Amino acid sequence: MGKTWTGKLALLTVLLTMLVAVSCTKKAVEVDPTAEAAAQEAVTETTADDAAAADEAARIAEEELMKKEAAARAEALSAFENTNIAFNYDSSAIQDSEIANLEAKAEWLKENPGVRITIEGHCDDRGTTDYNLALGDRRAARVKAFLESLGIDADRMVTVSYGEERPLDPAANEAAWSKNRRVQFVIR
């Protein structure tokens, strides 16, 4: 009886183990195909919306950068044209105080190799017309030579003298005369 009892117990144990094993297997989850498609579409739309928003933000940032660069170029151009080189009375020598201005102009010209300029020599109204035209010519030529020494191609620059004909300030006093003794730059 011991043998049959042990055999029956072993058989019972095997059957219980199989029953437990079968009941523990996972059932396959049924997925609604329309719900799965809707979820995938939502993910795709979110990804597309995120990409579109990122593209729009990048475009706006690029436009802002381009506006800032254009403003900086316009400001540099204005500074180039509106910063004159001053001269002492009856002199065409470049003053030490004007060297930094000329170096800045040379640097700008190097950064803008397609730009061609006219260097205008001007004088105050003291002296004869012929003398002032010659002095204005010497001033413009000195500035051109200085810019050439800093590496600017002579073919990009022309000089002209207006003598006393185009004063910045028509008054007849030292402050006005000082403004009128200048070399001025014009982009051509």
Could you identify the residue written with the tokens 């059957």? 15
Name the band, by pLDDT with cuts 50, 70 and 90, for residue 140: very high
- Name the CA radius of gyration of the chain, rounded: 43
> Domain 83-187 class?
alpha beta
What is the identity of the amino acid at 180? N
Say whether pTM exceeds 0.75: no
Where are the domains positioned within the chain? 83-187
- Using DSSP bridges, classify how beta strands 157-163 and 85-86 pair: parallel, antiparallel or unpaired: unpaired
Kind plus residue range of the DSSP H or E element containing 41: helix 33-82
Q: Is the Cβ–Cβ distance between 161 and 136 less than 8 Å? A: yes
Q: Identify the DSSP state of 184.
A: E
**How do residues 13-63 score in pLDDT, each as one tens digit?**
776 666 666 666 565 656 677 877 777 777 777 788 888 888 898 899 999
